[in-house]
Amino acid sequence: MNFQNVFSQIIILFLLLISGYCAKKLKVFNDETIKGLTSILVNLSLPALVISSLIREITPSLLKESFQILIISFITYFVSFFIALIIPKIIRSKKEEIGVFSFIIMFSNVGFMGYPVLNAVFGEDSLFYAAIYNLPFNVLIFTIGIWLLKKDSNSKINFNWKLFINPGIIAVIIGFIIFVFSIPVPYIIKGTLDLLGSTTTPLSMIVVGGLLTHSKLKDTFSNWRIYFISFIRLIIMPLIIWSILAPFINHPLLLGIPVIIASMPAAANTAILAEEYGANGEIASQAIFISTLISIVTIPFIALIIT
Q: How many domains does the chain have?
A: 1
Please report the pLDDT score of residue 132 as a whole number.
85
CB within 8 Å of 155: residues ≥ 6 apart: 277, 278
pLDDT (0 to 100) of residue 73: 94
Q: What is the pLDDT of residue 22?
A: 93
CA angle 287, 92, 100 (to 5 degrees): 35
Report d(CA 236, CA 86) in Å as an integer. 14
**Residues 87, 101: Cα–Cα separation, whole Å:** 8
Report the pLDDT value the prediction gives residue 83, as an integer from 0 to 100: 94
Looking at beta carbons, which pairs linking 81-84 to residues 24 or more positions away fall under 8 Å? 81/106, 81/144, 83/232, 83/237, 83/240, 84/148
Mind giving me the DSSP string for 148-171? Answer: HHHTTSSS-----GGGGS-HHHHH
Give CA angle at 205 (259, 43), nearest 5°: 90
pLDDT in tens, 21-61: 899 999 999 989 988 887 888 788 888 988 888 887 778 88
Q: What is the pLDDT of residues 138-154, one digit of tens each?
A: 778 877 888 888 776 65
Q: Which residues pair with 302 in a beta bridge?
A: none
Q: 47 CB contacts (<8 Å, ≥6 apart)?
A: 167, 168, 170, 171
Positive or negative: CA dihedral 104, 107, 113, 114: positive
Dist CA 264 CA 234 (whole Å): 6
**Residues lower than pLDDT 70 in the chain:** 1-6, 152-164, 215-220, 275-276, 307
Q: What is the pLDDT of residue 289?
A: 82
pTM, full prediction: 0.80
- pLDDT of 239 reads 95
The one-letter amino acid at 208? V
Report pLDDT for 156: 58
What is the CATH classification number for the domain harbouring 39?
Answer: 1.20.1530.20
Alpha helix segments (H runs only) across the chain: 3-25, 31-40, 46-54, 60-90, 95-106, 115-122, 125-133, 135-140, 144-150, 167-180, 187-198, 200-211, 217-220, 224-231, 237-245, 252-262, 270-276, 281-306
**Domain extent for 171:** 3-306
- The pLDDT, as a whole number, for residue 254 is 93
Contact by Cβ (8 Å): 180, 58: yes
Whole-number pLDDT of residue 305: 80
Res 159: pLDDT: 56
The rounded distance, in Å, linking the Cα atoms of 235 and 229 is 10
- The Cα–Cα gap between 102 and 84 comes to 4
d(CA 180, CA 58): 7
Helix axes 281-306, 252-262, angle to 10 degrees: 150
